[in-house]
Amino acid sequence: MPFLPRSEDDASHVNGAPIGVFDSGVGGLSVLRHIHEMLPREDLIYLADAAYAPYGGRSGDEITARARVVCGWLVEQGAKAVVVACNTATVVAVASLRAEFDIPIVAMEPAIKPAALMTRSGAVGVLATERTLASEQFQDLVQRYANGARIVAQPCPGLVELVERGHLDPARTMPLLSRYLQPLLDEHIDVLVLGCTHYPFLLPTISHMTGSGVTIIDPAVAVTQQLRRRLASDAGMAPHSGAGVLRFFTSGVPDVVGPVIELLWQAPVQLRQVLAPHHA
């Protein structure tokens, strides 16, 4: 049998198919921007499931059903991998998605392990939705990785809704943020994990309020590194030429969601509606 070196065109390593990325709404754009920066040749399809946002107020069955519909649509568009850019959908639905779809499903995970290794004060804060913090998966992460650190979990009702409306200015966000951050500061946290993909859009105000003594971790970087590993080992990377194409979709009303996406993405986008709820 002749030795055949792997070429750049080897189908198992080069794959021009897009990567699907979804969230309940616009929060997953904070993950998309890392993916686009770190993997600039990849074609990306983003779906903001805004008609169903926030997921946090829905039952586990509803979130799982919706995540399956969205993931199925991304697979129909030819996605070679899907990123669940939503902590809430991850803790509720990732196991079902992995069982159903035969492509890499890369998902969020609150960065308890690196945070616990990083803290010097011994106290780590986590901001996330109530549903994420109440999940068995979160409790399990804390048990496995807290490594003696005190994990101070703070649910943040209302923050997702502010970001969904594009209300990022401190005048609107500070009242809620100070209510959620003060208890963590009182516990002398020196590391803060952003456990919801909407929250990085509030980072300037959050870091202003916590001060420079608190290191803030956005798990999106680690998630993107994991995506890169899964592309290299399984799904294949984009060909070595050209910049990736980005396409944006929503189940919400494009005239409402579009301006918020443009505000957060900081560029004009063409937004098309898919998977909208049926009107009776």
Positions in the binding site for ligand DGL (CB under 6 A): 23-24, 27, 53-56, 86-88, 129, 132, 160, 196-198
Nearest-CB residue for ligand DGL: 56
Query: Do 223 and 106 contact (CB within 8 A), yes or no?
Result: yes
Q: How far is residue 265 from each of residues 26, 29, 93, 255, measured CA to CA in Å?
A: 9, 7, 27, 16
Which residues on adjacent β-strands are paired with residue 171?
Answer: none
* Minimal distance, residue 71 CB to ligand DGL, in Å: 15
Which residues on adjacent β-strands are paired with residue 14?
Answer: 237
Burial code (b: 16+ CB inside 10 Å, e: under 16) for 22-39 equals: bbbbbbbbbbbbbbbeeb
* Minimal distance, residue 275 CB to ligand DGL, in Å: 16
* Minimal distance, residue 23 CB to ligand DGL, in Å: 5
* Closer residue to ligand DGL (CB): 63 or 246: 63
* Closer residue to ligand DGL (CB): 88 or 173: 88
Burial code (b: 16+ CB inside 10 Å, e: under 16) for 203-214 equals: eebbeebbeeeb
Query: Do 64 and 94 contact (CB within 8 A), yes or no?
Result: no
The residues carrying an active-site annotation are: 86, 196
* Closer residue to ligand DGL (CB): 243 or 253: 253
- With tokens 């409790």, the residue in question is 139
* Minimal distance, residue 20 CB to ligand DGL, in Å: 16
Query: Do 127 and 196 contact (CB within 8 A), yes or no?
Result: yes
Query: Which of 265, 227, 229, 126 minimizes the C-alpha distance to 184?
Result: 126
Alpha helices in the chain (DSSP H): 29-38, 60-76, 87-100, 112-118, 130-134, 136-145, 159-164, 170-186, 203-210, 220-230, 254-265
* Minimal distance, residue 36 CB to ligand DGL, in Å: 18
* Closer residue to ligand DGL (CB): 218 or 238: 218
* Closer residue to ligand DGL (CB): 86 or 124: 86
* Minimal distance, residue 6 CB to ligand DGL, in Å: 37
* Closer residue to ligand DGL (CB): 83 or 123: 83
State the Cα–Cα distance between residues 29 and 217, nearest whole angstrom. Answer: 16
